[in-house]
Amino acid sequence: MIEDATAETPFVESRYRMTAATPTPESVERRTIEHIPIDERHGRARDLFTVWFGSNIMLLTIITGALATTVFGLPLWAGALSVVLGNVVGAVVMALHAAQGPQMGVPQMLQTRAQFGSYGSLLVVVLVVFMYLGFFASNAVLGGQALAKVTGLPTSWAIIVICAISVVATMVGYRLIHRVTAILSVVAGGALVVAFVWIIGVNGVPDGTWHTDGFSWAGFMATLSVAALWQIAYAPYVSDYTRYMPRDTGQRAAFWGTYSGCVLGSVLPMLLGVLVGAALPDDDTMEGLSTLTHGVSTGVFAIFAIGITATNAMNLYCGTLSTITVGQNIFPTWSPRAGSRAAVSVVLCIIALVPALVSADDFLANYANFLALLLCVLIPWTAVNLVDYYLLRHGHYDIDALFERDGGRYGRFNWVAIGCYFAGILVQIPFLSTTLFTGFVAEAIGHVDISWIVGLVVICPLYYVLMSPRMRSVDAADAVHGVESAA
């Protein structure tokens, strides 16, 4: 599926190519959702490794891994295996989206206009904004609690500090986020190693940590699904962090740089969570981590708290780009720049901050269900986008048409994509398993949620079969037009 497109132009060149001079490395990013000109491209594939490795080493990742041994009751070996498998599988979907960035040079959700039409894409983009806000709020709560533990600040004020730092990073933009995550790859990675060494080699763990009983297929598959969905949740914005890469980066390099960084950056902290949960299954995960790392816990929590600001900046940055995408769709003459990004990021931060402050104690538990349902509506988008890009259009898109209010050659609505999208939601419902709703199939198989697998397996071939005739018609029309132009 992954083919290098460096030897040919994978899209129609944009008229925005020379709209601005190359910015200096120290400058605030001026661009938002417009096409990144070829002469402004920079970076290497290894930069993608650090942006995803560093940003994933955070408390929310650790807590997600701990679900295996606390909520799902798996022994340590089974929890570790399911976490690894889930990340390895889910990251394939995520990294395939990342490979699109260097070729198209526009944010991920803007590309959605090519599949769903200029207006048809709005529903998906709005839902993605809510997902960004959910992750932002969740991380803000965790980061605030960690910062409060280290500094003694009230939790509410610590949450505000975390959010404020994230907003500033979003205002500065792409380059700063890449640089900070590169530093985090070393600093947070080192803190992770220290935590493992301190738990196992210095303080030790309770005797029951290494028990082998308690395995269940329901728990194993539930953990695998959670780990896979962790990766798939990144799909709507991984391309945002590859769109500045040179086109000759190649799709393979973009894929593997993103894939390796995100898998390693997620698996390692999740394994720490599995270990903490196995050692102290009845304790709160953060309290358990503090207990097991006694002696270095202050430093570990301080680094993880600071690291969350970078991860949250990524969530806020992409949520801002998606919000601007909606605004530019409604007001096509709007040319948003750095000031617009700053204003939108502040508004989004406030929207996410209010519920985080009001319900910090039980916010994470309540929002986890909401995020699970949001992921249900993202899976069909993933299927449509990947099939359209890799199997139907092979990376060839008219970038100018993406900025036209009527959608240009892509139209206002693509009813095939929209129909497949809603069919993808419906087909997943019987397989959903959350505390808010459990489908009859999920209930029959022990409350195992495999909805995301069903969604991908059904919608990928369905969209391909239904869209192929239209693509043949478009190709034929383009061929006739090309002959007429030549004549």
pLDDT of residue 7: 41
The DSSP 8-state label assigned to residue 200 in this structure reads I
Residues 377, 111: Cα–Cα separation, whole Å: 17
Alpha-carbon span 227 to 371, nearest angstrom: 14
What is the predicted pLDDT for the residue at 26? Answer: 46
Domains of the chain, CATH where assigned:
44-375 (1.10.4160.10)
Q: Which of 261, 258, 220, 221 is nearest to 237 (CA)?
A: 258
Q: Kindly list the distances between the CA atom of residue 377 and the CA atoms of 102, 175, 416, in Å, as whole numbers in the listed order.
A: 26, 31, 16
Number of continuous H segments (helices) and E segments (strands) in the chain: 18, 2
Amino acid at 79: G
Distance CA 68, CA 216 (A): 11
Beta bridge partner(s), residue 397? 11
Cα separation values, 452 from 62, 80, 318, 437, 467, Å? 22, 21, 23, 15, 22
Render 44-81 in DSSP notation, one character per residue.
-HHHHHHHHHHHH-SHHHHHHHHTTTTTS---HHHHHH
Which of these, 140, 388, 104, 138, lies nearest to 240 by C-alpha position?
104
Residues 254 and 8: beta-carbon distance below 8 Å:
no
pLDDT at residue 99, as a whole number: 85
Q: In sequence order, which residues have a C-beta less than 8 Å from that of residue 428 and are 6 or more positions away?
A: 376, 379, 451, 452, 454, 455
Q: Report the pLDDT value the prediction gives residue 115, as an integer from 0 to 100.
A: 94
What do you get for the CA distance between the two ends of the chain, in Å? 36
Structure tokens at 193: 């190693």
Residue 11 has phi, psi (to 5 degrees) of -155, 165
Given a cut of 70, the residues of the chain with pLDDT beneath it are 1-26, 359-372, 474-487
- Tell me the whole-structure pTM to 2 decimals: 0.86
Three-state secondary structure call for residue 219:
helix
Q: What is the pLDDT of residue 24?
A: 44
